[in-house]
Structure 1
Amino acid sequence: MAEFGLLNWSVVFAYLIANLGLGWYMSRRVSTSEDYYLGDRSSPWWAIGISVVATYVSALSFLGGPAWAYGDGMAALAIHINYSLVVFACIVFFIPFFYNSGVASIYDYLERRFGIASRAVMGILFMVTMALGAASIMTATAVVVTFVTGLSTTFAIVLMTTIVVAYTMLGGMNAVIWTDVLQGIILIIGAGIIMVALLGEIGALPQALTFLDQHGKLNPINLDWDPSIAPTIWAGVFAMTLYHITVYGANQFMVQRALAAKNIGEAKKSYMVMGYAAFFLYFSFFLIGALLYVYYEGKPFKQPNEIILVFANALAIPGLLGIIGAAILSASMSTTSSAFNSLSTVSVTDFYQKFFHKDANEKHYLGASRVFTVLWGLAIIPIAIEFASSTGSILEVISKVGSYLVGAKLAMFGMGFFSKHTSERGLLIGVVAGLVGLMFFAPLDPIAPAVDGIWLAMGAERPEIAWPWFVVIAGGINIAAAWIASVVLDGFQQDWHEHSVPGQILAFEREGKPMMSEGWYVVPGKVEPVVWTLPLLFACTLGFLAWFGTLG
């Protein structure tokens, strides 16, 4: 505590108080459960956009991005080159369905398209993956708290979870959005200071890039076809595009912000902020990690997620560690607050209100939302403690864990949008088949010996497959099994469902409804001219990375 210094502590406390004050100010607008979930739709699109960026590009990226690049070099960036394509898909297909529904939970769509069982299954999948995500974020926070204070990691996790739950209890999506804006700005400032200081310490940049090239850490475009290697360009363009479409399009955690926009045009513009900004932010975080590899000459770290903190501490710039600590603490607080808000939303709207108390008043549902916020806070503590024992990049660890369920999410929404013949019974069979099939190729550690025994009995060895491809395997099996089971059990359908993409367009044409509102398409499957700039940006990104790889 003494080493952290009075100035650093002052920065941290001032920033935490500013966040809590902003949260308290915004919470005064919360009087109903809808206010708690969506706010009063007063936030501008740019604030929602920054919130979308800051929620995902948070403490995990600030710590885990450099740690990942320190180990794998700039090739690790391949996993994150696809955001412009991802946002393109979200704007064209996902947001119109969800925004037009007028509900707080995006999983209401699945009930309208297939039935109540599919909504419940997706809600459960979301809660499992979101709890894991919130736990990983809290672990990242604990790394910082432990580093700067010397407190035990377990105590830090319990302490920070308590603070975040208390902050979230103030409630309100408006509070979440505006604290995200604040933490996003501070996070970028902290990263900028680190980058400038790092460039000053390593000397000439061309020599640093040459060093990286000599050690195989420079080229961000790895053309290796080996499926056991995670950061390849093929995994980034194909597998991780599908992965991130699910993260941003079929995830209550992210889409709930767009649902808080004033209109569908504002919702789409808020997502475009992510489409334009994400790659450049991730490039900065990964470049910091690669340059740290140059600075430390590749020496191993017991806890790689602390590398950027070790460097910041060594600089001994007055207040710098306080700024970085405040940025990461605030990022985690805001992001985890968003997680608890969305977990509470799904718990209440998709389960509690649906199956237990259908006709209670708004005051009751608001109280239930706050109770579920506390329960989820208690649930993530043991998960976060388990994550803390990991020695790899937190960002990579949570990406691996989440990848086991992404295929099911993608298949359920994908078939809802584009399949004419898929029924609910077939869809649920597909979910089970996809997960079982994935376990056959990439089993979890407890069942790996048994699965390996099956492969050996067939006269083969289980192929090594990197986690980005899990979504392709699980999703492919899921889609095939669901379609076949649907046709066998329920036969071919004569008409497109009204909540499929073709069915929605046909319904608008049949009823004579306008397909555009204030220059933005209301129906899914239609693309505004400005949205076409996102695939163009992706092409430019690939060209930039190819050029960057030649600089060594």
Structure 2
Amino acid sequence: MELIDWIVLIGTLLFIVGYGYWRTKGSKNVSDYVLGGKEAQWWTVGLSVMATQASAITFLSTPGQAFHDGMGFVQFYFGLPLAMVIICIVFIPIYHRLKVYTAYQFLEKRFDRKTRSLAAILFLIQRGLAAGITIYAPSIILSAVLGWDLKTLNIIIGILVIIYTVSGGTKAVNVTQKQQMFVIMTGMFAAFFLVLSYLPDDISFGKAMKIAGANDKLNILDFSLDTKSRYTFWSGITGGLFLALAYFGTDQSQVQRYLSGKSVRESQLGLVFNGLFKVPMQFFILLVGVMVFVFYQYNHSPLNFNPSAVEAVEQSEYAEEYHQLEIQHLALEKQKKMAQEHFSAVLDVKDYNLIMAAKRNIKDINIKERERRKEVSALIEKVDEDLETNDKDYVFIHFILNNIPTGLMGLLLAVIFSAAMSSTASELNALGTITTIDLFRRAKKEERNDKYYLNATRWFTLGWGIIAILFANFASLLDNLIQLVNIIGSIFYGNVLGIFLIAFFIKFIRGNAVFLSAIITQFIVILIYYFAIYRYGDGNEKLGYLWLNFIGCAMVILIAIIFETINRTTNAIKR
């Protein structure tokens, strides 16, 4: 990196942290700290909700996901707009009417304290893990690519977030996320147009899309009923819907964003804004990944984008095998470039038979290239089973560091750091709030003054920040990062959502039935995940992880109904 890149990167980060600290220091009470004084207007709510979900994982992993698997991942978000409508109609009015600080306060009013505590603990477990991952994600990739120390990066990102989040609470998160979203989207648009400018002169955007289509990267909709497929239209509007309902409706990191709205209307408009723009935003980020794929049809790409894994192979006894595969890969790249140029030429001729023959040739070459990549992955595993062979998370950062001009590189690295900070700040803010309001305050026998709980919230936020940094330093890269975060959420979210749906709509069920049902459901969902997904590995699982959201939600409702029915029947017999 050049000096100008460092200036852009450090200047952007220091401005965001400094501005957030300056604008929001000195919260006077818990309401001001947790709900930001309920001053946020709809665009602040909407941008804050989007920024909370759009972590660094989104901008590192999503383009790599599209590079390898195409645009089908966008189906994951198909249930989101409908979820926003349901939350606006059902969740927001209830939360505002009850004047709650957290979503889980409602559960105590509806059921009992132990149900509230259980839901809060489930949130703390899954969101505490996610907070570590949102720090770890950019750190491990930047460390591998730039040669920076991983633990140092984790600490830097963690400390930057802690400074303004502990100081200003929800208002600091809301204020800084507007700047972060501006940096993020500016950087992504710059990257998109830069990729297009790097394509050969005769390859327009329209031709680039056709090339992507010929390589099966534009298969957006999959209407198959195969539950093994991770991303289909049906899993998106069912599992994706339940995941979005749980995330935006019951996850405090999101609920806290719209509870800070000036009114019910402002909160609702903020979520509608998110519902309208979230899917197009994800579509665009995937499209960036597809254009990067087209770029590498005409330019050299490594057999594996993870530089640490490649270096390990080159220094091992398998170095010669790797170099032989590299020679084969270079030969295939020449064939691929010629095949793409031929396909581009026959597109101008508009002869159907020629176009289909050119497509088949491209697909044959891509099959051979995928085989070479699999062989390299096998070599990496032989060298060290702990080395990450899944290189999806390294594709976009590799493109940035090897092709982006001076100055813009600093901006795009600032995008990664800003996204990591925005989502981590929301998570720490929510973790501190839940720990204080739902657990610590409830455990106190004597009531303390507001300043006491304000300071407690700050200390718990700091504590969770330290825990997130520690977890980031001891984490290991298990899967494509954006999938890993969603898998963790899917294990817990369906259960929590089911509890809330019972609270809203099934009035005859009481606390004991829900509490027992939630514990049993969580145990069963974890078993399903282990035996149907985890043990089979990436791509071979027997069940797409999105279905865990639906299964968890349906199961907790069904078991609670059974328990309540048995309980009422038993009581009736006794009488």
| TM-score class, shorter | 0.7 to 0.9
Alignment of structure 1 residues 371-386 onto 2, 5 Å: 371-386=459-474
* Contact 2:491 2:548 (8 Å CA) reproduced: yes
1:283-294 aligned at under 5 Å gives the runs 283-294=283-294
Looking at structure 2, the residues matched to 439 and 89 of structure 1 have their Cα atoms a distance apart, in angstroms, of 27
Aligned to 2:282: 282
Q: Where does residue 305 of structure 2 map in the other structure?
A: 301
Deviation at 1:54, TM superposition (A): 1.3
Corresponding position of 1:409 = 496
Partner deviation per Cα, 1:333-352 (whole Å, 9 max, x = no partner)? 22211211111100000011
Instruction: Give the structure 2 partner of residue 421 of structure 1.
Output: 508
- CA drift of 1:227 comes to 0.8
What is the aligned partner in structure 2 of residue 5 from structure 1?
2
Give a deviation string over 1:241-278, Cα, whole Å, max 9, x none. Answer: 11111100111110112111111111111111101110
* SS of the residue 2:7 aligns to: helix
Amino acid at match of 1:470: L
Aligned counterparts of 2:528 and 2:210: Cα–Cα separation in 1: 39
Contact 1:176 1:338 in 2 (8 A): yes
1:121 partner letter: L
> Can you give the 5+ residue segments of structure 2 that lack an aligned partner in the other structure?
307-390
What is the CA-CA distance between 1:473 and the residue it aligns to? 1.7
Do the aligned partners of 2:532 and 2:543 also contact (CA within 8 Å) in 1? no
| Larger proportion of helix | 2
Structure 2 CA distance for aligned equivalents of residues 260 and 206 of structure 1: 43
Matched, 1:474 2:552: yes
Pair 1:396-2:483 in alignment: yes
Q: Please state how far the C-alpha of 1:235 moved relative to its aligned partner.
A: 0.7
Aligned partners of 2:541 and 2:482: how far apart in 1? 24
SS of residue matched to 2:428: helix
Q: Are 1:421 and 1:491, in contact at CA under 8 Å, matched by a contact in 2?
A: no
Aligned pair 1:182/2:214, yes or no?
no
CA contact (8 A) 1:59 1:141 kept: yes
Residue 472 of structure 1 aligns to which amino acid in structure 2?
F
Superposed counterparts of 1:113-512, under 5 Å? 113-143=110-140, 145-146=142-143, 149-202=146-199, 203-297=203-297, 300-302=304-306, 303-356=391-444, 358-390=446-478, 392-443=479-530, 464-490=542-568
Q: Secondary structure at the match of 2:419?
A: helix
Cα distance change on mapping 1:48 and 1:143 into 2, 3 Å: same
Shift of 1:306: 2.6
The secondary structure found in structure 2 opposite 1:435 is: helix
Q: How many residues align?
A: 478
Q: What is the alpha-carbon root mean square deviation over aligned residues?
A: 2.4
Q: 1:44 to 1:440 in 2, by over 3 A?
A: closer
The question of whether the paired residues in 2 share the 8 Å contact of 1:130 and 1:343 is answered with yes
Task: Return closer, same or farther for 1:117/1:75 CA change in 2, 3 Å cut-off.
Answer: same
1:387–1:304 Cα change, 3 Å: farther
> Could you tell me how far 1:300 is from its partner in structure 2?
4.0
SS of equivalent residue, structure 1 residue 40: helix
> Contact 2:55–2:422 (CA<8 Å) still a contact in 1?
no
8 Å CA contact 1:423, 1:490 repeated in 2? no
Output the TM-score relative to the length of structure 1. 0.82
Matched to 1:340, the amino acid is L
Q: Structure 1 residue runs of 4+, over 6 Å off?
A: 444-447
Q: What is the identity, as a one-letter code, of the residue corresponding to 2:426?
A: S
Aligned-partner residue type, residue 398 of structure 1: V
Q: CA deviation at 1:211?
A: 3.0
The one-letter amino acid of 2:154's match is I
- Is 1:30 matched with 2:27? yes
> CA 1:149–1:352 in 2, change beyond 3 Å: closer, same or farther?
same
Deviation, 1:492, is: 11
Bigger radius of gyration? 2
Please say if residues 533 and 543 of structure 2, whose CA atoms lie closer than 8 Å, have aligned partners that are also in contact: no
Name the SS of the counterpart of 2:546 in structure 1: helix
The structural deviation recorded for 1:231 is 1.0
Letter in 1 for 2:78: I
Query: Identity of aligned pairs, percent?
Result: 25
Aligned-partner Cα distance in 2 for 1:133–1:112: 28
User: Partner amino acid for 2:223?
Assistant: L
Query: Per the alignment, do residues 493 and 40 of structure 1 end up closer, same or farther by CA in structure 2, a change over 3 Å counting?
Result: farther
Cα distance in structure 1, aligned partners of 2:531 and 2:26? 45
Structure 2 counterpart of 1:534: none
C-alpha contact 2:17 2:163 (8 A) present in aligned 1: no
Q: How many Å apart are 1:301 and its aligned residue? A: 2.4
The 5-angstrom pairing of residues 42-61 of structure 1 reads: 42-61=39-58
2:431 maps to a residue whose letter is: L
Shift of 1:145: 4.1
